[in-house]
Amino acid sequence: MKFIHLGDLHLGKRVNEISMIDDQKYILDKIIQIVNENNVKAVIIAGDVYDRQIPPQEAVCLLDDFLTKLNKLNVKCFIISGNHDSDERLAFGVNIFEKSGVYVSPVYDSTLKTVAIDDEYGKIDFVLMPFLRPAQVRRYYENVENETDTVKTVLENTQINNNRKVLIAHQFVTYRGEKPEQCDSEVLSVGTLGGIDVDLIKDFNYVALGHIHGAQKIGYDHVRYSGSPLKYSFSEVNHKKSVPIIELDADGKADIQLIPLKPKRDMRKIKGSLAEILSPKQGEKTDDYMHITLTDDAVMDAMSKVRSVYPNTMQVEFENSQTKQLDIPVFISKNQLDLPKLFADFFDAQNGQELSGEMIDFLKNTELYNEEG
């Protein structure tokens, strides 16, 4: 049985205040095409289904559309919640969904959900482990102090048979102290998390991880982060996005095939004088999401001029003799990071939701906001 491993969809995400929903719909339709063409029987979504705990309506509709298309192809789907998701909201209606072949991790209640699926070689057990913090597990088991204790405890207290088995998880996994490659869009959300060593979970036949946006294996070929299907940060410009198709043989050995994903609009960086930027190469895509570095000394209304050629420009940076002398870049962005904005982004990354109006009112009376004046 072939299954696909996805993660970090972040449906409803906005990058530099630009909605990615159209790009997300495009890439999910491409994934449906891959499922259909490769006779895939199941799809895994390893957390961060949405970008925030209370997703916008269009994000919910997009997931509904994706799951409906999978159902029409008679494809099963396994979904766990990530740190950006609300496990309670994501798990709403799970018993009804299961009748349609959609299995969602419930709110953790002392054991993990396991689903057995038959293929030509027997049963495969899919173990659904949502994003968990030590405090959630400590409600049921004592002596859970860190993330390693968390994962070890929940696995020890979950009945796992001797079938071939797949773990779906959304944790920060390391290889003997070596951290996975990260990008800017993840730094805030993983900064306070302790890593768990891959040897704790390597005995599964395949480990489908979410949480890190760059596709990579962790120590072993069968332990992988799928990566996000789209680029969500300019630190990801060199990522080669792909979707893994996995097939387990009779002995549980995983055959892994990576299918490249081509977005509707790429995320790119280019550098040059304004004259060079305004004269793109023949055949170059000009509707990509752009980070542009201008080498001119000064340009009036630079963003407007650049967007006359690259309408989806997100950031313009100046790099010239003056900025080099200061050893700092000068950015022009629709989403400048002031101190309150930085705090709000940190809160969002940690909790998967925006600051409430009450919280903002409280902060406005603190030094965090008053320093801005």
The type of residue at 277 is I
- The closest alpha carbon to 85, from 263, 261, 210, belongs to 210
Q: What's the mean per-residue pLDDT of the chain?
A: 88
CA separation for the pair 25, 7 (Å, rounded)? 15
Tallying the residues shown for the chain, one arrives at 373
Report the pLDDT value the prediction gives residue 358, as an integer from 0 to 100. Answer: 72
**What is the pLDDT, as a whole number, of residue 320?**
76
Helices (H), the chain: 21-37, 57-72, 87-90, 94-98, 134-138, 147-156, 184-190, 274-277, 302-307, 321-326, 339-351, 357-363, 367-370
Over residues 248-282, the pLDDT tens digits come to 999 999 999 999 999 999 999 999 999 999 999 99
Residue 337 has pLDDT above 50, yes or no: no
**Predicted pLDDT at 364:** 63
Domain chopping of the chain, boundaries: 2-260, 267-333, 339-370
Give the range among 153-162, 254-263, 360-369 with minimum mean pLDDT. 360-369
* Residue 331 DSSP code: E
Residues 6+ apart with CB under 8 A from 319: 271, 293, 294, 295, 329
Q: What pTM, to 2 d.p., does this model score?
A: 0.85
- Superfamily designation of domain 2-260: Metallo-dependent phosphatases (3.60.21.10)
> What pLDDT was estimated at residue 195?
84
Q: What does the block give as tokens for 354? A: 């925006």
CA atoms within 13 A on the CB side of 206: 27
pLDDT in tens, 76-128: 999 999 999 999 999 998 899 999 999 999 999 999 999 999 999 999 999 99
Q: What is the DSSP string of 170-194?
A: -S-EEBTTBPPP--HHHHHHHTTPP
| Tokens (6 digits) for 58 | 């269009």
Would you state the pLDDT for residue 359?
72
Give the pLDDT score at 145: 92
pLDDT in tens, 189-211: 444 456 899 999 999 999 999 99
